[in-house]
Structure 1
Amino acid sequence: MQSDISVLIIEDEETWMQKIKHVLNQFGYKIAGSAGNLDDALTAIRANNFDIALLDINLHGKNSGIELGKLISGMLKKPFIFITSSVHDGILNETAAAMPSAFLTKPFNPASLYISIQSALHHFSAGQVAETPKTAASPDSFFVKLGNKYVRVEWQNVVYLKSETNHTSIVTNNGDTYMVRSSLQKTLQYVIPDALKTSFVQINRAEVLHTRYLEKIVDNEAITARQSFNISDVYIKNLKQQLNIIS
């Protein structure tokens, strides 16, 4: 059964704390807890009720976040993301020693926060460490939590997306369905990788189709190997443009 990924937030700036919480709620992540100082952070980490942590390197102007990162990766064996405004050469070795799974650089937007979490889960699952802060590319896959494990789903295997109440269902070519707790429009804007956005085309108010699986169009029906979809009049022009249909 799919469940929400839980995130611990350790950040001493209230403005950024609230922004992180807002974005996490938008994407359906569960907030396991938050802390704005070292003592509360230690308590939250030791509670060990989170899947991944977002961790400010400089708690109150110190590099105490690095030691907390070592605790998370060393003792708990869990992924975490360093939040930073900048990392100078003097502490790069220290951050590497903490074994972060990703970096999130301030200022950030919803897309970069989502990408950093997905990148962290990818690196952690592959046994990799994020070497230096850099602009993360949109991953070509996404992770969902099933029980006590993370399952990687390749975007190239996604056939269509469907709007549900407060969710988007993502259906793959083998019939598996995964839920993202965000609206269809937010999924299109932030979750689908930039390189693939033009391949996913909205065909009606509730559905978006991956055009690589489109076999033919008959009247107002888009037909794939498994099923057909209704194409609303308002979307058919855009679909034809995407497919280079000129008549």
Structure 2
Amino acid sequence: MTEIKSVLVVEDNLIVAMVIEDDLRDAGYEVLGPTMRSAPSLDIAQSSTISLALVDIDLEGGDNGVELARRLRDDHQVPSLYITGQAAVARAGKDAALGLLPKPFTTEQLLEAVAAALDYVETGEVPRTPKAAQWF
């Protein structure tokens, strides 16, 4: 039996967050969140096992997704994949995440990137695909 992977969604645009949540659930992932700020994301990480976090860069209340990704990694051993239109900021914070899925993206691109990121976490090998994601 295959283990169900859990994905934390951290996105301040409620509609985008809901679409991501629906797409991931339909694909068989357990979705944690979505959250729009750092504090609730860290609370979830404290009490849950998270396979991957999808983290936007600019969060509600001025929270910073790069700093959140660092805390998720350092404090909870949770790998992150940035989901953002701010590629330059994401690349500047590449120490904190596996890579970047630039917005806008399709459902297919999202699911390919999540699967590749989870494989990256398990194998340590940088994925050659999907084309939409950039790996650090």
Distance 1:43 1:76 in 2: 10
**TM-score computed with the length of structure 1 as normaliser:** 0.47
Instruction: Name the SS for the 2:132 alignment partner.
Output: coil
Structure with greater helix percent: 2
**Larger Rg: 1 or 2?**
1
**Is 1:101 aligned to residue 109 of structure 2?**
no
Q: How does 1:49-88 map to 2 (within 5 A)?
A: 49-60=49-60, 62=62, 64-88=64-88
Q: How does 1:80-159 map to 2 (within 5 A)?
A: 80-88=80-88, 92-93=91-92, 95-98=93-96, 100-127=97-124, 135-136=132-133
Indicate conservation of the 8 Å contact 2:87/2:102, yes or no.
Answer: no
Amino acid at match of 1:106: K
Indicate conservation of the 8 Å contact 1:35/1:44, yes or no.
Answer: no
Indicate conservation of the 8 Å contact 2:21/2:34, yes or no.
Answer: no
Match of 1:13 in 2: 13
Distance 2:62 2:78 in 1: 23
- Give percent identity, aligned residues only: 27
Indicate conservation of the 8 Å contact 2:57/2:86, yes or no.
Answer: no
The one-character-per-residue Cα deviations of 1:125-144 (angstroms, maximum 9, x if unpaired) are 233679xxx7239xxxxxxx
Q: How many residue pairs are counted as aligned between the two chains?
A: 131
Q: How does 1:174-213 map to 2 (within 5 A)?
A: none
For structure 2, list consecutive stretches of 5 or more residues without a partner in the other structure.
none
Instruction: Name the SS for the 1:58 alignment partner.
Output: coil
For structure 1, list consecutive stretches of 5 or more residues without a partner in the other structure.
138-247
**TM-score computed with the length of structure 2 as normaliser:** 0.81
